[in-house]
Amino acid sequence: MKFRNWFLLILLFLFSGINAQIKNPVKFKFTINDLGNNQYEAVLNATMESGWHIYSKDLPPDTGIPTEYKVSGKNIELIGKFTEVGKKHEEFSEAFGGTIVYYSNTAGFKQKFKLKDPAKPADVTSEITYQTCDDRVCLAPNTLEFNQKVTPKGAPEEVTDNKTEEIKDSAKTAEVTVVAPANATVTVTENSQLDPKKLKIETLNFKKPLTNCGTASEKMDENYWTYLFLGFIGGLIALLTPCVFPMIPLTVSFFTKGNKNKAKGKRDALIYGFFILLIFVLLSVPFHLIDGIAGNIFNEISTSVWLNIVFFIIFIFFAGSFFGYYDITLPSSIANKSSKAEEAGGIIGIFFMALTLVIVSFSCTGPILGSLLGSAVTGSANVPMLLTFALAGFGLAWAIVFGLLALFPQALQSLPKSGGWMNTVKVVLGFVELALALKFLSKADLVSKTFLLKRELFIVIWIIITIGLTLYLFGLIRFPHDDKKPKISITRKILGALGIGFVIYLIQGLIPSDRPKLQLLSGILPPLNVSYFHDEKDGILGMHPEHDFFKAIEIAKQENKPILIDFTGYGCENCRKMEEFVWSEPDILPILQNDVVLASLYVDDKEELPEDQQTKIDLGEGQVKKVKTIGDRWSLFQQVNFNNNSQPHYVLVTPGGKVINTPVSGYMPKEDFKKFLECGVNFYKQNK
């Protein structure tokens, strides 16, 4: 049963994000509270799905879309300004170069008012404009209306004359049948003139593209497998340290030689490996419990200036331990109690033997596990599950090594002998800890807006650390536990040469350039705008895309090129990441510049449409969506034609309005985006 559940969980991770669809992660409830003395309070409560957030009204300029809340009615008078209720979070955004302010899980918006004539009822309209994002995509800004009637005690009920204004264009967005305005459907041909008022275009059938090449399935949970792999590599590295490596032959020999029944010895060794894996996985359980009690604690940790400084100090402390200046160990009493428990024998004894191994090796594994913890806590919203996968990978590496050697004990003879090389592994890890520590200091610097640790200064410090590592590998500097006359092996020389190459790679980041450099380190280095040489450029990487799909169609017909529809937003962080780290790649940018007509449609453009193009859509349950801005138009255009409301979202279209290949969404690796582009462009060139 357990194996089946894990199998189903893995399938869920792999297929949870393949089919993009319209997302609605925020639910609202509108109520009006009677405060007495002719005072009322219009309250709009928002409930968000896990991982999603909406921005605060206090968002800094030029970042995301601040939430706006308005209350209106003929017989009401507002008292003060609206207020927000909920736990506010602040986090530095590398894409925006500023601190974003948002709410997750729940938020409330309140506006006090009074009746101008306390003897008469009032129809109260509540309107909210907001944007929803998670750590991968942002949804188009949305404007919703809620209506409720306030009837004071003793006031007569108003008689309606059934002459209220009808909303002609109504549908529920979840069903994706919205057309706006009326008669909005239009069939496009190569010579037809498109009417900007008509948003539903029949030829834009994303379910039946002209070709199915270049499809990159969305991997919503790819970080889980990344951390499993990183944990596995960390486990293999930990096996090479002086605390663990000498124990491998001793432990395996115990199971293969200490038991007259060799089959039972091998079985016990495999159980021993399983318990090692289980113990490391169990280490992540407390983080799941903490997340259940305080779901935002890990986000608070990742955005806390002081906690990031604490992580910086801890990593420096780890580095000192790896350099050999002191050891980090658990209290000896814990190891002694675990060791005594081994005497129980049987399965229980094997479990405590595995537990003893984990405890006594802590001086070497602790800093490595601490690195995984720090990276997970400051790198994602779903920290507990990331840690589970990382620790599972770590334990899996140990379980495989001990298990395979128990099955094939003759392989013990091929293992290298213990010696000074193991201390070399520790010292190299010490330099790695120093480099990683700087990331936490940079995070604290960005969140506090001091901006003292510029991108170039960060690179210079990394160059110094790498030079120190290279000198050590070549035997020019030593640490406490190194041999006085260390033997410089071929492996050390190769690693030293790689260190020199890495220094050369880092140096190019110090040279001003119009294009981003060191993109392999884009998640570690300070953002491009935290730089001594930062200079804002007009457009996007020198390009000036069209912001109107219908104009882009006309240009595409003239130039005989396909259109790349880029559903984006001024407040879309993941859109900026795509532009900076993917579009700028030398094998991507020429395609965007020369082979397509780029149509960047901003779903959060606040410029109002002409009145005859404005409309309303009834979403049901008292919610009405107003379509009155350019952003509303492109947001609706995206929903009705592509059944999607997330950004970034990319669609390749012919000048005749036909979808070339399956659209893709979200921040994605360069290889996936390149595959998508080249597929569509090459197909069009061959068939135009």
**The most confident of 3-17, 104-118, 431-445, 526-540, by mean pLDDT:** 104-118
φ/ψ of residue 392, rounded to 5:
-65, -40
43: its two tokens: 């309250």
| pLDDT grade for 208, boundaries at 50, 70 and 90 | confident
Other C-beta atoms lying within 10 Å of the C-beta of residue 242 = 19
What are the pLDDT digits (tens) for 3-13? 333 333 333 33
pLDDT, position 97: 62
- Given a cut of 50, whether residue 329 has pLDDT beyond it is yes
pLDDT at position 196, please?
Answer: 45
Q: Is 615 helix (H, G, I), strand (E, B) or coil?
A: strand
Do strands 53-55 and 664-665 pair parallel, antiparallel, or not at all (unpaired)?
unpaired
Domain ranges of the chain: 26-164, 219-418, 428-536, 549-605+630-687
**Contact (CB, 8 A) for 250 and 269:** no
Q: In the predicted model, what is the mean pLDDT of the chain?
A: 76
pLDDT at 461: 96
Mean pLDDT, residues 532-552: 74
What is the average per-residue pLDDT within 309-328?
Answer: 83
In the predicted model, what is the mean pLDDT of residues 611-633?
70
Tens digit of pLDDT for each residue in 65-80?
A: 789 999 999 889 999 9
What SS3 class is residue 8? Answer: helix
Question: Is residue 98 helix, strand or coil?
Answer: strand
Residue 192 in this model has a pLDDT that exceeds 60: no
pLDDT in the model for residue 458: 93
- Closest by Cα among 353, 395, 362, 391 to 252: 353
Edge to edge, the sheet with strand 106-115 lists 26-36, 39-48, 106-115, 76-85
Per-residue model confidence (pLDDT) at position 609: 82
- The residue ranking higher by pLDDT, 374 or 633, is 633
Least confident of 217-221, 385-389, 546-550: 217-221
**Range list of H helices, 188-221:** none
* Helix (H/G/I), strand (E/B), else coil: 92: strand
Place of tokens 């800093």: 367
The secondary structure of 474-498 as a DSSP string is: TTSS--TTS-SS----HHHHHHHHH
% of the chain residues with pLDDT over 90: 19
The C-alpha atoms of residue 393 and residue 376 are separated, in whole angstroms, by 14
| DSSP code at position 193 | P
| pLDDT (0 to 100) of residue 179 | 32
Confidence of residue 681 (pLDDT cuts 50, 70, 90): very high
Residues in the chain: 688
The one-letter amino acid at 193: Q
Closest CA to 426 of 368, 369, 375: 368
350: left (phi over 0), alpha (psi -120 to 50) or beta: alpha
- The answer, yes or no, to whether residue 505 has pLDDT greater than 50, is yes
pLDDT tens sequence across 273-298: 888 889 888 888 877 776 554 444 55
Between 3.30.70.20, 2.60.40.1250, 3.60.20.30, 3.40.50.2300, what CATH number should domain 26-164 receive?
2.60.40.1250
What residues contact 200, with CB distance under 8 A and at least 6 apart? 179, 184, 185, 186, 640, 641
What mean pLDDT is predicted for residues 629-634? Answer: 84
Among 120, 129, 134, smallest CA distance to 25 is for: 134
Radius of gyration of the chain (CA): 30
Q: Residue 653 is which amino acid?
A: V
Query: Using 50, 70 and 90 to split pLDDT, how confident is the model at 577?
Result: confident
* Average pLDDT value for residue range 27-47: 90
Type of residue at 264: K
Rounded to an integer, the average pLDDT of 387-406 is 84
Q: Mean pLDDT lowest for which of 50-64, 130-144, 597-611?
A: 130-144
- Higher-confidence residue: 152 or 92? 152
Residues of the chain by 3-state class (helix, strand, coil), percent to 5: 45, 20, 35
Helix and strand numbers, DSSP H then E, in the chain = 19, 19
Q: In CATH terms, are 26-164 and 549-605+630-687 the same topology? A: no
Instruction: Classify domain 549-605+630-687 by CATH architecture.
Output: 3-Layer(aba) Sandwich (3.40)
Evaluate if pTM is beyond 0.85.
no
pLDDT the model gives residue 457:
94
For the cut 60, the answer to whether the pLDDT of residue 680 exceeds it is yes
Q: Quick check: 76 and 113 in contact, CB under 8 A?
A: yes
> With 50 as the cut, is the pLDDT of residue 195 above it?
no
Given pLDDT bands bounded at 50, 70 and 90, which one contains residue 338? low
**What is the per-residue pLDDT across 582-614, written as a single tens digit (0 to 9) for each?**
888 889 999 999 999 999 998 877 778 887 777
Instruction: Report which of 641, 655, 650 is spatially closest to residue 562, judged by C-alpha positions.
Output: 655
Spatial distance between the Cα atoms of 363 and 368, rounded to a whole number of angstroms: 10
Amino acid letter, residue 645 = N
Q: Which helix (H) or strand (E) holds 289?
A: helix 285-293
Lowest mean pLDDT among 237-241, 307-311, 413-417: 413-417
> Residue 573 pLDDT > 70, yes or no?
no
Q: What's the pLDDT at 219?
A: 44
Which range has highest mean pLDDT (70-79, 477-486, 632-641)? 70-79
Residues 648, 572 contacting (CB under 8 angstroms): yes
Give tens-digit pLDDT for 221-264.
446 777 788 889 888 888 887 767 777 776 766 666 555 566 77
Q: Summarize the confidence of residues 559-566 as an average pLDDT.
A: 94
Find the Cα–Cα–Cα–Cα dihedral 216, 219, 225, 227, rounded to 10°. Answer: 120
Alpha carbon distance 386, 134 (integer Å): 17
Q: What is the pLDDT of residue 618?
A: 61
